[in-house]
Chains A and B, each alone.
Chain A
Amino acid sequence: MAKEKDTKPMANTVIGSTLVIDGEITGEESLTILGTVKGKIAVAQNLVVEAGATVEADVEAQTVTVSGRLTGNVVARERLELKPESKMVGDAKSPRIVIADGAGFKGNVDMDV
């Protein structure tokens, strides 16, 4: 009945597109979001907000890559990247920030200079 789906071992966390999480996500690994997360996110590795995903949360991660929609303050210890078509509202703090052509962004940028 429950299909065995261990064919593709994935150590990391994926939040699927129909999933809605209201609360706090903390982790020592990478996190990929296709669905909706509201609250707070703190991961030790990479955070990817895929196209179609909605994040309304304060975010802390090593690297943050946004293709979807992110509302909240972001602290990326290494790198923040806003892909084309992404929308971000909030303050960004990271030593390296990449904003692609076509990305939407509103907020403060702090590169620690």
Chain B
Amino acid sequence: MADKETVIGPETRISGEVRGEEDLVVRGRIDGKVQLTQTLTVDKGATVQADVDVRHIVVSGTVVGAIVASESAKLTSTARVVGDLASPRVMMEAGAAYRGRVDMGDIAAARAAVSSRAVQRSAAGEKPAMRPAPPRMATAAKAVIAGKVSAPVAPASPATRPATAVAAGALGPASPPAFPRVAGAMGAMAPAWAKKKIRRR
């Protein structure tokens, strides 16, 4: 059997955990958790409501949940993403709708935060509280990562702000300026308002 690529078709829904060492293309829906050593592609019209831990992610559809991409993350013009995004390389095309925190710094810390949160969530069986303070990069790690990123990544949050500002602009002027932070509370139990507010007009 030649290696067929993995595709979740448009009429198929998976709820649970998906793990693998190959590329995965989602055209349908996944709820739960996705862990891949390769590329996750979320096509237009597809929905992934999951914590995602992959090498590359390309989003053209909808993702709700924390994303950790160990190499790169790309949000195309049709992407709608709510949740924290940790990746050394983040690309957002004009038209992409995104809300959350971008961290181009310490991926390992972000990954640990996501997995510990997942554990807490399953243990508590309820909506997690606000996430703990964002992971700060160690200076040494920062220097390594800064080489891969086009802009200097100095103190993580200010540097990432322009990227998020661009996305916020795409949401249109009617979006409330001071929107409550949704950070850690995303994932499988994203509230209805979170999904609604990011809809582009």
Across the interface, do B16 and A21 meet the contact criterion of CB distance under 8 Å?
yes
Which listed residue, A5, A26, A32, touches B25 by the CB 8 Å rule? A5
Interface size class of B (residues with CB under 8 A): 20 to 34
Across the interface, do A20 and B19 meet the contact criterion of CB distance under 8 Å?
yes
- Chain A: minimal CB distance from B76 (Å): 10
Across the interface, do A28 and B14 meet the contact criterion of CB distance under 8 Å?
no
Across the interface, do B12 and A10 meet the contact criterion of CB distance under 8 Å?
no
Q: Which of B167-189 contact A (CB under 8 A)?
A: none
Across the interface, do B12 and A16 meet the contact criterion of CB distance under 8 Å?
no
Contacts of B12 in A (CB 8 A): 13, 25-29, 31, 43
Is B56 part of the binding interface, using a Cβ–Cβ cutoff of 8 Å?
Answer: yes
Is A56 part of the binding interface, using a Cβ–Cβ cutoff of 8 Å?
Answer: no
Is A81 part of the binding interface, using a Cβ–Cβ cutoff of 8 Å?
Answer: no
Contacts of A43 in B (CB 8 A): 12
Check A18/B22 contact, CB under 8 A, given A12-B7, A13-B7, A52-B1.
yes
Across the interface, do B16 and A24 meet the contact criterion of CB distance under 8 Å?
yes
Contacts of B25 in A (CB 8 A): 5
Across the interface, do A2 and B41 meet the contact criterion of CB distance under 8 Å?
yes
Is A89 part of the binding interface, using a Cβ–Cβ cutoff of 8 Å?
Answer: no
**Complex Cα spacing A34 to B7, Å:** 12
Across the interface, do A19 and B17 meet the contact criterion of CB distance under 8 Å?
no
In this complex, which of B12, B19, B41 has the most chain A Cβ atoms within 10 angstroms of its Cβ? B12
Across the interface, do A23 and B11 meet the contact criterion of CB distance under 8 Å?
no
Is A113 part of the binding interface, using a Cβ–Cβ cutoff of 8 Å?
Answer: no
In this complex, which of B8, B9, B25, B32 has the most chain A Cβ atoms within 10 angstroms of its Cβ? B9
Interface residues of A (CB under 8 A from B): 1-2, 5, 10-32, 34-35, 39, 43-44, 50-52
